Each structure stands twice: as structure tokens, then as C-alpha cells.
């Protein structure tokens, strides 16, 4: 397949195995079975790298960030437009993927695999990308854009295509590591006053037991959880056991991202539920974690598992096993945040997620109007076609550092 890119043409050469896998999942124009409706046709894709300053720094055990560097994916087909957002960071700390690796995988492999093809359902787009191993965030950005496009073409909100059942979702908030305990308390007070139904604070060794104890003394009993982002080891897990008496709703990802077994050992030693995040990169990994009883809650992030179809499968798996799920956040703009709202409308998202108001992160956001949290701590699910928000393309263009347009 040859593609025009910036005045040059590049040729993508796939191995026979990759060609076979791609052909099994994709359809050419003349290959549609009789009577099978065409849902998605993709005739152009645009990739953009953007730099957006954060309203306020965000610090985790990985370090502090003051801006968001991201890839937007615009998917065009038959006059409709879908948008996806790649949640890979500029640095390989949360995930091995970065903005630059995602750009490479998207432009050189994933986009050529779907351009000029038609699909019976947007989930087939994700299937068409499986010839590439890993790179879930790059896959998710393109796959989620195709879901938005399909819903736009069908004239229905994305929630309906995904199987959502709610008209509003419960919103929680994530607060990064602060310079002092007093500043942490100020942030917590501010977010509770805004109506958020649950507060999550980031922790690391040295900023854990004291921070939680301080908040309990200051505010008493309220829905509170902590997120370690894999900052602890078995040797330092005594700090986690010390958190067991504070009535936390959960401890998120305390141990290493690839460690299911030690999480199972730790969960047996704790009354507080463990929630897994970074460890759950596929549905198979979730099955393993559930079988080993390594967690009692799972955080669903479509970027981490490869898109909406995998997220729905993960949601359904957890529902069958009685494992509640909630929707995590990756400092998304309003585009990615709108996708998250639609996904979080599914029934087993029974805990408040990290989908918060736009103004906490970006001012202005890339969408108008921005996403707002109501006084009762909920966010309405958009009911317009697709993700249901208006992307301000002039604003997107003004923040773009690099752009690549690819046509069938």
C-alpha cells in the first residue's frame, strides 16, 4: 500500500503473516458479504502532535509535569469526522510507549492498515491492528477515532454503540503529590466543595501514611483512595500495611507494573482492596489477576488496553466475576475525556472514576463547551452523535507542533 506523506510516497511492506492477519480482520470494497451493511469507511487520517500547558502542575511517583504532549488522530470517512487521542506520555515512565513511539507505529504501520478500507463494525478496526504486537496506546488512539467516526456516520451517541446504560457518570478527582500537607488539604477541600464523589491522592514512600493520616484528621471519614503508580516493593510494603486502618476505598497499583503474583500475596495481607492499573494491559492479564485474586477492583483505561472494544471486553469480564471497575484518567484533553465519559456509562463502572472537569487541566480546552462537573458530582453523557462534543479546530491548529495527513 502506497501513501502520500508530505509530498513523498512511502510503501508499507508487511510480512506474509501480518498480511494474513490484516486481511482476516479488514474488508476491501468488493469483499462485503451480500446484505452486510457497511458501518465504517476510512478515506483519510490526520495525525497531530500538540503541546498543551497544564493549569497546574501534576506530580506522581514518576515525577512532576507542567504540560501535556499528545497525539490527536482525526479519522475522516464519507463526509464525517472522528477524533481519537493518544494518551502516551513524552517519557516512558507510566508505559513503555511514548509520543514518538506512537507516532512511528501509527504513521508507519497502523494507519496504512486501515486507510481505504470499510468495516462492518468499529470493533473490526481494532482487530485489523493486531498484527502489531503491543503499542496499545497507539492502537487505541486510532481505534477510538474509528468508533467516533462510526457513531457520527450512524447519527447516534457513542454510548449507544458501546452499550452504555447511564445518562450521567459519577466523577472523582485525582490529586497529585503536593509541596506540603497543608497544600494537600487545601486541594482536597477545594475538590470536595466542587462536588466530586471521591478523592484520590498520589502517594510514594515518604508521602503516604502521614498524608492519609493528616487528611483523616482534617476531614474525617469521606471516600478516599490512594494511587502508588507502582512505587513500592515487597520490601517496602510495610508502609502499605500501615494504610490498612484508614478506611480507604482502595490502594491502586502499589507494586510493579508486571507483578501479578506479589500483588496477590499483598492482597491476602490487606483488608483494603487492591486496584490494578498498569498491570492490566490486556484482557488476558485481567483474567490472570482475577484467577490469582491479585485485586478486588480494576481500573479501566482504553489507552492502556488498546481501545474501546478491549475495554468493553474487560468490563464484561470483570462483571462476570463480580469485580467492580472504574474509569481512570491520563490527563486527557476534552476529546479523550469525552470518549471516557461514554465508556464509563456502561453498567459495571460502579465506582466514581478519574474523569473530572476540563478546567482542572486545560484552560482553554480543545472543545467547546468544556466538560463540567455538576454540583452532585456527576457529568452528563453527551447525547449528540459520536463523542458529542465540538472540537475547536482553530485551537487545535494553534497548538500543533507537527502534522501528517494520509489519504487512501
List, by residue number, the catalytic residues. Answer: 202, 301
Given a contact cutoff of 8 angstroms between Cβ atoms, the answer to whether 3 and 12 are in contact is yes
State the Cα–Cα distance between residues 274 and 182, nearest whole angstrom: 27
Distance CA 364, CA 358 (A): 8
> For residue 88, which of 64, 109, 108, 104 has the smallest C-alpha distance?
104
d(CA 108, CA 8): 13
Q: Please, which residues bridge with residue 368 across strands?
A: 390
Nearest to 115 by CA among 10, 260, 33: 10
Pairing of strands 325-327, 367-368: unpaired
Residue 33 CA, chain-centre distance (Å), reads 34
Q: Which helix (H) or strand (E) holds 20?
A: helix 16-25
Tell me the angle at which helices 209-219 and 181-193 cross, rounded to the nearest 10 degrees.
50
Query: Kind and range of the H or E element at 54?
Result: strand 44-60
Q: Do residues 300 and 327 make contact, with C-beta atoms less than 8 angstroms apart?
A: yes
Supply the DSSP symbol for 325.
E
Q: Which three cell numbers stand for residue 226?
A: 490512594
Say which residue the cell 479546530 belongs to.
393
Rounded Cα distance between 388 and 88, Å, is 23
Phi, psi for residue 229 in degrees, rounded to 5 = 50, 45
Instruction: Look at residue 26 and give its three-state secondary structure.
Output: coil
- Burial call 46-73: b when 16+ CB within 10 Å, e when fewer: bbbbbebeeeeebbbbeeebeebbbbbb
For residue 369, say if its preceding peptide bond is cis, omega within 30 degrees of 0.
yes
Helix, strand, coil % in the chain, rounded to nearest 5: 35, 25, 40
Give me the torsion for CA of 120, 124, 129, 130, rounded to 10°: -140
Amino acid at each position: 500500500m502506497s501513501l502520500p506523506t508530505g509530498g513523498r510516497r512511502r510503501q508499507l511492506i508487511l510480512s506474509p503473516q501480518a498480511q494474513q492477519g490484516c486481511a482476516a480482520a479488514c474488508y476491501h470494497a468488493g469483499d462485503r458479504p451480500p446484505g452486510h451493511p457497511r458501518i465504517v469507511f476510512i478515506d483519510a487520517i490526520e495525525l497531530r502532535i500538540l503541546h498543551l500547558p497544564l493549569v497546574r502542575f501534576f506530580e506522581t511517583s514518576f515525577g512532576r509535569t507542567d504540560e501535556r504532549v499528545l497525539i490527536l488522530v482525526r479519522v475522516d470517512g464519507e463526509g464525517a469526522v472522528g477524533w481519537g487521542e493518544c494518551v502516551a506520555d513524552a517519557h516512558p515512565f507510566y508505559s513503555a510507549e511514548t509520543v514518538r513511539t506512537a507516532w512511528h507505529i501509527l504513521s508507519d504501520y497502523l494507519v496504512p492498515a486501515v486507510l481505504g478500507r470499510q468495516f462492518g463494525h468499529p470493533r473490526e478496526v481494532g482487530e485489523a491492528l493486531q498484527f502489531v504486537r503491543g503499542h496499545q496506546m497507539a492502537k487505541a488512539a486510532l481505534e477510538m477515532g474509528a468508533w467516533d467516526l462510526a457513531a457520527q456516520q450512524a447519527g447516534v451517541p457513542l454510548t449507544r454503540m458501546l452499550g452504555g446504560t447511564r445518562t450521567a457518570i459519577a466523577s472523582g478527582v485525582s490529586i497529585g503529590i503536593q509541596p506540603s500537607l497543608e497544600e494537600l488539604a487545601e486541594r482536597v477541600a477545594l475538590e470536595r466543595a466542587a462536588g466530586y464523589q471521591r478523592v484520590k491522592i498520589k502517594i510514594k514512600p515518604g508521602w503516604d501514611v502521614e498524608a492519609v493520616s493528616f487528611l483523616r484528621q482534617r476531614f474525617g471519614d469521606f471516600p478516599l483512595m490512594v494511587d502508588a503508580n507502582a512505587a513500592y516493593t515487597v520490601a517496602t510494603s510495610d508502609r502499605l500495611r500501615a494504610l490498612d486502618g484508614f478506611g480507604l476505598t482502595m490502594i491502586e497499583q502499589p507494586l510493579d507494573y508486571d507483578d501479578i503474583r506479589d500483588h496477590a500475596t499483598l492482597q491476602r495481607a490487606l483488608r483494603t482492596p487492591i486496584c490494578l492499573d498498569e498491570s492490566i494491559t490486556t484482557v488476558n492479564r485481567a483474567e490472570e489477576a482475577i484467577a490469582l485474586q491479585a485485586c478486588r477492583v480494576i481500573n479501566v483505561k482504553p489507552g492502556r488496553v488498546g481501545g474501546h472494544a478491549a475495554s468493553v471486553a474487560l468490563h464484561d469480564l470483570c462483571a462476570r466475576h463480580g469485580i467492580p471497575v472504574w474509569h481512570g484518567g491520563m490527563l486527557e484533553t476534552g476529546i479523550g475525556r469525552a470518549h471516557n465519559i461514554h465508556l464509563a456509562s456502561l453498567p459495571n463502572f460502579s465506582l466514581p472514576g478519574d474523569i473530572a472537569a476540563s478546567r482542572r487541566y486545560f484552560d482553554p480546552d480543545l472543545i467547546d463547551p468544556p466538560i463540567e462537573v455538576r454540583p452532585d458530582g456527576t457529568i452528563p453523557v453527551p447525547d449528540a452523535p459520536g463523542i458529542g462534543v465540538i472540537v475547536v479546530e482553530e485551537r487545535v491548529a494553534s497548538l500543533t507542533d507537527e502534522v501528517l495527513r494520509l489519504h487512501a
